[in-house]
Each structure stands twice: as structure tokens, then as C-alpha cells.
Amino acid sequence: MVAVAECFRGDGELLANPIGTIPMIGGRLARATFEPDLAMTDGEAALVANDRAVVPPDERVIEYWNPYRSMFDWVWSGRRHVMMGASQVDRYGNQNLAAIGDYGRPRVQLLGYRGAPGNTINDPTSYWVPNHSPKVFVEKVDTVTGIGWDRAAALGPAARFVDIRRVVSNLGVFDFETPDRRMRLRSVHPGVTVDDVVTATDFELETAADVPESRLPTPEELELIREVIDPEGAREREVPDPD
Amino acid sequence: MTDKLMTEEEVVGRLRSGMTIAIGGWASRRKPMSIVRAIVRSDLADLTIVTHGGPDLGLLCAAGKVRKAIYAFVSLDSIPLEPHFRAARQAGTIEDEPLDEGLFHLGLQAAAWRLPFLPSRAGLGSDLLRDNAGLRTFTSPVPGRNGEGEELVAMPAFRLDASICHLNRADRRGNAMYLGPDLYWDDLMLQAAPDGGRFISAERIVETADLRDQGCIHQLRISRMMVDGVVSAPGGAHFTLCEPDYPRDEAVQRAYAASAGSPEAWAAFRAEWIDVAEAEYQRRVGDTTA
């Protein structure tokens, strides 16, 4: 959650749009602590000011009516930082949400392209992967739905708004702050070794000689998550507490 | 005054095999299911379906009505992936024309405005340009801030033959309103279809003079100039969500999803929930929720 929150540090006043339980809690944590001006959705048709991640409809503090169609106003104007899922992601941050196998006759049909092409070409994008494995962190994704840094480089000026920021998995945090924008292991979560991450990754990761550990939540952040943002413990259903 | 009231079967009677039909709503929300079920029971075939896909597309795939799907995603919301659509894709029984959600919006808007295409950045660099042969890139004839024309994607106007949407309230002339949080793309879908092919169903038909008191003025977003036929369909979106009239019927949706498991399961679901007259369907819904 803290690693997710850190993805939004420095974003200021834009639509932070983390999709999924853990990303939503992490985004709320960022806003409740170091990024107070982030705007966030209720997962449906409103931008809400509540710190709590899942709010009963009549307890929402609504800032703006945001039907699905309005989302493209934010996306196309560059005022959104989305955190999407990825069924596959590769070393340059190309994402696949659409289908596993040959696209024409897929082995496994997934959701579709959704908004990934438009998100990645227009706005900062990060990814959340709760199940880090060589089947997800692949050498080459089967279908590029969200474009990565290599595709952006090939496009030239047309890709000037592309900004694939981070990937957060259940094992560590990854960025693309390398000369050729290959994925780099930025930190490993407590209890995870660099070897664990390398073994669970199908491509060669850039790793520093001394990879730091992801920072732990502060006591204040822990209290916020437990008491305010996610009092029902929805987070435990996605990443079980190791205790 | 033109009275546009008709039945689901009369809507189906105006459709033809091979047509391209847009279906309103979003995933498993406010879908015109009573008309979709009537299509499943009909002789129509080889349809191209344009949709923010949910059980509308899935049902039509399961019934063998779909030649091609045009969509950005297909989901049942509470069940993230649509099993009947997946089965059709994995069996290779339907053609596939994938889109980005934003491009989908532009395809409708271009059709509504009678333009050949609208420009976007969405799609550049992605495999969408590989998987959707209708998308092309072009160099902007208008220079950008750096003085050069940039590369953009041309999203072609959808070529619809018909649109079908479900609203909360309507009058007999085709003025209609939504009462939930989101209109989705229903107004644009109706505007993107040709005259004669624009159909809505509604939870309740009211007098024109009573429309404004059903909600607020901002929700009166469907004009009779966009509509050729109106179906009175209380419960017509079932089992999808139709706020504030009723929630999604998760039990029936689960049964629907499970019916993708085998031909026998599909036959049983179809017998119970599809091959029945609408009145009998609604009686069964009443029995399950009583």
C-alpha cells in the first residue's frame, strides 16, 4: 500500500486513478498524507473527497460528477495518473490486458484493450501486479495494449506524453530510470530477496549492486489504513497478512 | 403526435440479419435485455454488435447470433470476464474488432456528426493498429505548437444500422431519461444510428408532462428526435443493474455465467430464462426475488 502511495508522490492536483482494491487504498493513503490535492473517484461516476476507500453511497463527499464519458476529458488533457492491472508486462513496460496467445484465436480471452492505448499515450501510467511470476513479468507480451518505453521511443514526438512510471508487485517496486528505459528493480519488499524477484521474472532485470528495501509504513500510516481508509480489511483479501 | 410504442417483437421485426447494431448501457448495467432476449429467440443472424460489452454480447454469442464484435472491453462487473464471449473468442466463432474506450466514443461521435472520422492519439504504438484493420494513422494537416504536423489515429465513424438502449423513464413519443449516476453512451448511440433504426425500452412509460417530475432536468437526455420506437419494459434490463429501479440480480447473473460451462448448462439456462415470453420471464424474476 505504501509502495502504491509512493507512486503518486509529486503528482499535485490531478486525477489519481488507481484501479483495484490495493491501488485504491494506496492512492487514498497518498492523498491522506503527502499529496492532499489529488482528485480520486469512487470507482463509478463521482470524484469523492473521502479518505475511506469504500464508502456507502450516502456517506460520499462528492466533489464532481464524473460519468465515464468525462474520464476522457481528464485522459486526453493529461490530468490523470492511472494505475492499471496487467495480465502481462515486459521489460519496457508494455502491458497486455486483452488476450493470452495469438490475438486472432487467443488461448485465453481477457478483458479487451479497455482504455489502455489512450491512457498510455496521453498520461502517466503505473501498474499493480498482485501475483508476480514469470507468466506475468514476461520477455515479450503477447499483445501490446498499453505501450511501453521502447514503443514510445520508436514513435518519436508523437509519444511525448508517454510516462510509464512504476510497476508495484507483491514482491517489489520497479521503475524505468535506466539509460534505455529498461525495467529496474527499485526496491524489494521486506522479507523478499533480490533472487526471489529475479526468479519470478522471465526477463533480465536491471538490478543495482545494493537494492534497498521498500519503506515500511509509518505508525501514522498504519493507523490511517487500519482505522480510516480500510477499516473492513478489504486489503487482506488481495494480499494476505503474512502473520 | 407520433405514438412510437411497440413491443420487443416489433423491434426485432424491423431488424435484419447482417445488420450492425449498437447496444447501450455499460458492462452489466442498464442493458436492453428484454430486446436482446427477443433477438436471441428470433431468426436474426450474422449480426455485428457494437457495445461496451456485457451479457448483451455474451448472450448473443452463446446463441450464435454474432458475426463480429466491436468493443473495448467485455465484463459482467461483479464477474470480471464475460464467459460466453470468451468462449466464442477462444473457439474462433466470431470476428473481433477491438477498440480503445476513447476511440469507441469517437466512432459514435463521428457517426452522429456525419464525419468520416475523428482524430486521436489513442492507439499509437499499441497493437490496436495491428488488430483493428480499420484504424489508420495520418499526419495532421494542422501544425502543432512546434510547427509540425503530428502523427494521429483516424477513428472511422461507426456504420450502424440500428441502436437499442434501455432507459428508466420515457414517454410514448421517445423522450426519455436516465435516473442512475451515468447515461453511459446511450444518447450518442441513438444519434449515431440512421432514422428508422433507433429503439429504446424503458422501465416505465409516463405522460410527457410527468417526465420532469421523475428526476431532474439534467437527466432528460434522450429526445424524441433520436428515437423511432419505444418499448414499455418494466424489468427490461434484468439481470443487469438498473439504478435506482433495481440492483443487478447477482444470482441470475451467476447462473448465466455458469451456463457457459457446458452445452447442457446453456440449454437449461436458455430454456428457463430466454425461451419464455417476457411476461413469464418477469413472473419468474418476481418469484426469485420474493
Segment B192-197 shows an average pLDDT of 98
Residue B85 lies in a domain: yes
Return residues 184-213 of B near A (CB < 8 Å).
184-185
pLDDT attached to residue B129: 98
Question: Is B123 in contact with A117 (Cβ distance < 8 A)?
Answer: yes
Question: Do B32 and B59 touch, CB atoms closer than 8 A?
Answer: no
- Give the span between the Cα atoms of B201 and B138, in whole angstroms: 40
Residue A243: its pLDDT value, please?
46
Packing angle, helices B278-289 and B263-273, rounded to 10: 100
**In a shared domain, residues B31 and B164:** yes
Residue identified by cell 514503443 is: A151
Residues B50 and B142 in one domain: no
> Nearest-CA distance from B6 to chain A in Å?
30
Q: What is the CATH number of the domain that holds B22?
A: 3.40.1080.10
What does A207-230 look like in DSSP terms, one character per residue? E-SSPPBPPPPPHHHHHIIIIII-
Topology of domain A2-231, CATH? Glutaconate Coenzyme A-transferase (3.40.1080)
- Mind listing the pLDDT tens digit for each residue in B42-96? 999 999 999 999 999 999 999 999 999 999 999 999 999 999 999 999 999 999 9
Q: How confident is the model at residue B288 (pLDDT cuts 50, 70, 90)?
A: confident
Domain containing residue B63: 5-99+159-205+219-289
Q: Is residue B213 part of a domain?
A: no
Are both B151 and B173 inside the same structural domain? no
- Whether B261 and B229 share a structural domain: yes
Beta-carbon separation of B89 and A75 below 8 A: no
**B180 and B237 both lie in a single domain:** yes
Do you find a cis peptide bond into B244, omega within 30 degrees of 0? yes
B146: contact with A, CB 8 A cutoff: yes
Are both B199 and B88 inside the same structural domain?
yes
Using an 8 Å CB-CB cutoff, list chain B residues near A154.
125
Give B89's contacts in chain A (Cβ within 8 Å).
Answer: 99, 106, 109
pLDDT (tens digit, 9 = 90+) per residue, A29-72?
Answer: 999 999 999 999 998 999 999 999 999 989 999 999 999 999 99
Q: Are residues B167 and B266 in the same domain?
A: yes
Beta strands B176-177; B151-156: pairing state: unpaired
Residue B258 lies inside a defined structural domain of this protein: yes
Q: Do the Cβ atoms of A104 and A93 come closer than 8 Å?
A: no
Q: Please give the DSSP secondary-structure letter assigned to residue A53.
A: S
Contacts of residue B155, defined as CB under 8 A and 6 or more positions apart, other chains included, come to B103, B106, B107, B110, B117, B118, B119, B120, B122, B135
Q: Which three cell numbers stand for residue A22?
A: 490495493
Are B166 and B143 found together in one domain?
A: no
Looking at the structure, tell me whether residues B276 and B133 fall in a common domain.
no
A22 touches A84 (CB < 8 A) = no
* Nearby residues of B8 by Cβ (< 8 Å), 6 or more positions away: B34, B35, B37, B38, B201, B231, B233, B278
Q: How far apart are CA B103 and CA A196, in angstroms?
A: 40
- Would you list which residues of chain A are within 8 Å, Cβ to Cβ, of chain B? 44-46, 65, 67-69, 72, 75-76, 98-99, 103-118, 120-122, 143-147, 151-152, 154-155, 157-159, 161-162
Q: How confident is the model over A148-170, as pLDDT tens digits?
A: 999 999 999 999 999 999 999 99
Closest Cα in chain B, distance from residue A135 (Å): 19
Q: Are residues B56 and B88 in the same domain?
A: yes
B73 in contact with chain A, both atoms CB, cutoff 8 A: yes
Rounded-to-integer distance, Cα A203 and Cα A192, Å = 18
Would B276 be classed as within a structural domain? yes
Same domain flag for B190 and B255: yes
How many domains are contained in chain B? 2
Above 90 in pLDDT, residue B290?
A: no
Domain boundaries, chain A: 2-231
The low-confidence residues of chain A, meaning pLDDT below 50, are: 243
> Considering the domain boundaries, does residue B19 fall inside one?
yes
Sort out which chain A residues have CB atoms less than 8 A from B260's CB and list them: none
Residues B142 and B285 in one domain: no
- With cut-offs at 50, 70 and 90, classify the pLDDT of residue B289: low
B120 with A144: Cβ contact below 8 A: no
